[in-house]
């Protein structure tokens, strides 16, 4: 098999058969048309394709995979798409977004020869094992049935219709505790997927098959489950559910792409990186600071009478000091690109609008690069800073620590000027 390595969002030229090129183009259009397939994280702006494939010369195509990493198999050609930042840094952010506490104790490096799909499956098996050891959670399900004896509450209108039709039964509604809930259904589907993947190590596949025995009587998951979030009272399911959603969405192609459905695994990267950065900052800055993602609608108010909606603001990072009440101290946006040298005008304008909408006097633009500096733009009574995740540092945990220190310094300076 011929293996080609591409960097996401960067054009590369490879030799393809025309049929393979058509399949790749179909895959790009399919992914672009299924925003819900990614769990709602994809930019709402409609795109014709997320994989461009343009003919350059005889059987040579210029390919760009936009904001996705993973593997695409085209017959005897395998396309491996790697992140625009170092792989260890991306895996660190992937892991910290799933379980910040464990990421602070474990190395983010992959084992020799282990690809991204194998890594996700191994993590999933580890987290599912923890869930099974602690016990599967149960929840109540409401059932409506016709019965010859009373169960729960009686639906009198329906019972009357039954009696008038000659059936001596009661229409009842009742609840019963069951393990067949969406959380367990999603974990079972993820384990079954991992157990059938030959790219995974034999031990991982065997462990996944063994764990499925603990999910006896659990049904099939629904497509909407891929976008659901774990509630606080089921927090121990969080890491396992996140991994199952990544695996199932990354493998969830329809049959319209033919043989690609059995060999393709793709992860949408901006959402992964944004969640990882926010989880990292939350873990290290609490309890002094809270870091959230929140939305706010900005209205035009004329003399306190006429209000018309003009824009919905949703910064990636909203920082609030524990002692400052309800007013955010600083807002910021995560830009998944390699830069770090200077602040782009579009970023300055975007964060400036966030600051106006949230009533803040400071904002940050967070991106990736080989510079640890903090270029800033100062305006009367306010400032916007560029904070960089230093990708030139080999160890991702050290780069993460430097980022946290830089953000903490910006927050302290902003608090001192309040």
* Across 218-227, 339-348, 372-381, least confident range: 372-381
**pLDDT tens readout for residues 228-244:** 888 888 889 999 999 99
Provide mean pLDDT across the span 316-341.
83
- Residue 376, pLDDT score: 61
- Residue 36, pLDDT score: 46
- Phi first, then psi, for residue 313 (nearest 5°) are -100, 135
Alpha helices in 336-395 (DSSP H): 345-358
Provide mean pLDDT across the span 125-139.
93
Phi-psi region of 39 (alpha: psi -120 to 50; beta: other; left: phi over 0): left
Decide if pLDDT at 308 tops 70.
no
Contact yes or no for 73/264 (Cβ under 8 A): yes
- CB hemisphere CA count around 161 (13 angstroms): 6
Report how far Cα 328 is from the mean position of its chain's Cα atoms.
Answer: 25
- Residue 251, pLDDT score: 75
* Across 101-110, 172-181, 377-386, 405-414, least confident range: 101-110
Q: Is 178 helix (H, G, I), strand (E, B) or coil?
A: strand
Q: In what order do the strands lie in the sheet with 2-7?
A: 2-7, 77-82, 68-74, 265-268
Provide mean pLDDT across the span 324-340.
82
Binned at pLDDT 50, 70 and 90, residue 46 comes out as: very low
User: d(Cα 4, Cα 49) in Å, to the nearest integer?
Assistant: 21
Decide if pLDDT at 115 tops 70.
yes
Domain boundaries, the chain: 139-178, 286-416
Question: Which residues, including other chains, have CB under 8 Å from residue 81's CB and lie 6 or more apart?
Answer: 5, 6, 7, 8, 65, 68, 69, 70, 71, 72, 266
Q: What is the sign, positive or negative, of the torsion defined by CA atoms of 81, 83, 84, 88?
A: negative
Global confidence as pTM = 0.80
Decide if pLDDT at 258 tops 50.
no
- Residue 170, pLDDT score: 87
Radius of gyration over alpha carbons of the chain, in Å?
A: 25
- Please enumerate, as own/partner, the contacts of 251-258 that have beta carbons within 8 Å and a separation of 24 or more: 251/193, 252/37, 252/226, 253/27, 253/30, 253/31, 254/30, 256/26, 256/30, 257/23, 257/26, 257/27, 257/30, 258/23
Which of 299 and 306 is assigned the larger pLDDT? 299
- Residue 418, pLDDT score: 66
Q: Is 403 helix (H, G, I), strand (E, B) or coil?
A: helix
- Residue 29, pLDDT score: 83
- Residue 403, pLDDT score: 93
And the tokens for 303? 């003399």
Provide mean pLDDT across the span 269-289.
92
């Amino acid at each position: 098999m011929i293996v080609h390595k591409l960097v996401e969002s960067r054009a590369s030229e490879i030799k393809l058969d025309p049929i393979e090129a058509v399949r790749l183009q179909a895959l790009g259009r399919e992914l672009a048309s299924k925003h819900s397939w990614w769990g709602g994280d994809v930019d709402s702006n409609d795109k014709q394709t997320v994989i461009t494939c343009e003919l350059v010369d005889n059987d040579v195509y210029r390919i760009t995979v936009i904001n996705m990493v993973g593997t695409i198999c085209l017959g005897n050609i395998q396309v491996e798409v790697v992140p625009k930042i170092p792989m260890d840094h991306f895996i660190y952010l992937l892991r910290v977004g799933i379980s910040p506490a464990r990421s602070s104790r474990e190395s983010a490096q992959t084992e020799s020869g282990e690809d991204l799909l194998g890594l996700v499956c191994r993590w999933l098996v580890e987290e599912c094992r923890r869930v099974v050891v602690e016990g599967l959670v149960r929840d109540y399900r409401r059932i409506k049935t016709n019965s010859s004896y009373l169960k729960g509450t009686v639906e009198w209108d329906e019972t009357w219709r039954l009696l008038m039709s000659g059936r001596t039964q009661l229409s009842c509604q009742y609840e019963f505790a069951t393990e067949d809930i969406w959380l367990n259904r999603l974990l079972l589907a993820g384990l079954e997927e991992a157990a059938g993947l030959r790219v995974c190590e034999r031990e991982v596949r065997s462990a996944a098959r063994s764990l499925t025995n603990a999910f006896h009587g659990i049904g099939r998951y629904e497509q909407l489950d891929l976008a659901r979030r774990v509630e606080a009272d089921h927090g121990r399911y969080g890491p396992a559910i996140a991994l199952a959603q990544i695996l199932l969405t990354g493998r969830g192609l329809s049959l319209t792409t033919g043989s690609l459905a059995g060999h393709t695994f793709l992860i949408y990267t901006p959402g992964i990186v944004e969640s990882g950065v926010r989880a990292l900052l939350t873990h290290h800055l609490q309890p002094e600071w809270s870091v959230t993602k929140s939305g706010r609608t900005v209205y035009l108010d004329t003399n306190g009478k006429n209000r018309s909606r003009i824009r919905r603001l949703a910064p990636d990072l909203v920082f609030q000091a524990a002692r400052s009440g309800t007013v955010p101290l600083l807002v910021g946006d995560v830009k998944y690109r390699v830069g770090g040298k200077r602040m782009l005008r579009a970023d300055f304008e975007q964060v400036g609008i966030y600051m106006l909408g949230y009533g803040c006097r400071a904002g940050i633009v967070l991106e990736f690069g080989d510079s640890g500096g903090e270029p800033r733009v100062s305006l009367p009574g306010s400032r916007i800073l560029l904070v960089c995740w230093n990708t030139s540092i080999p160890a991702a945990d050290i780069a993460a620590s430097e980022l946290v220190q830089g953000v903490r310094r910006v927050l302290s300076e902003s608090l001192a000027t309040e």
